[in-house]
Structure 1
Amino acid sequence: MKIGIILETKEFEKAWNAFRFAVTAKKQGHEVKVFLMGEAVECEGLTHTQYNVDEQLKAFVNIGGEILACGTCLKSRQLNETDACPISTMIDCVNLVVWADKTVTF
């Protein structure tokens, strides 16, 4: 199955769960893409003693997961794209939803 995940928060527990879900789905053999928008574009490097978002994000990338980050949201925060989170557009988000058999939002 093709699973699209749209993440709109950098709230530690929610973002951590979104990436745990992505890792688990990928490990079960699903194709998974994550689109970060709003404050979620700040997830890379985000750590907490109980909810290490960055660790889960990196685990997802390391098993071949694809992450896209909203360019407008990055620019509004004076952030640049990274290898893990390349700059993307709303068209890419729409294409993710069209591509996916199921779309989940966090």
Structure 2
Amino acid sequence: MKIGIIVSQADPETVWNAFRFGVFSLAKKHSVKAFLIGKGVDCEDIEDERFNVKDQLAAFLREGGSLFACGTCLKSRRKEGSAVCPLSTMEELMNIVEESDKVVSF
């Protein structure tokens, strides 16, 4: 199955669970693409003792997940794309939604 994950929050537990779900789905041999939008583009800056977002994000990428980040959202925060949060567009978000069998939003 093709799964799309949309992350629009920066709450540590929410983002941690989004990528934990992504890692679990990849282990079940599903194809997973995640798109960061709004506050979600701040996910690589999250520091939390209980919910290690950076570890889950690294595991998601290591296991073969694809990650995209809204370029406008990054620019509005004076950020640039990175290896973790590559600059992307609404077009890519639409592609993810259209090609996914299921879309989950966090």
Equivalent-residue separation in structure 2 for 1:66 and 1:84 (angstroms):
10
SS at match of 2:44: coil
Taking only aligned residues, the RMSD between alpha carbons, in angstroms, comes to 0.7
Task: Name segments (4+ residues, structure 1) moved above 2 Å.
Answer: none
Give the gaps of 5 or more residues in structure 1. none
Q: What's the CA shift for 1:45? A: 3.6
CA positional deviation for 1:63: 1.0
Total equivalences in the alignment: 106
The normalised TM-score by structure 1 is 0.97
Output the TM-score relative to the length of structure 2: 0.97
Match of 2:71 in 1: 71
Could you tell me how far apart the structure 2 residues matched to 1:45 and 1:37 are? 14
Paired AA for residue 48 in structure 1: D
Unaligned 5+ segments in structure 2 are none
CA distance in 1, matches of 2:80, 2:26: 26
Deviation of 1:46 (Å) = 1.7
Identity of aligned residues (%): 48
Query: Quick one: distance in 1 between partners of 2:98 and 2:56?
Result: 25
Structure 1 Cα separation of the partners of residues 86 and 69 of structure 2 = 6
1:98 maps to which residue? 98
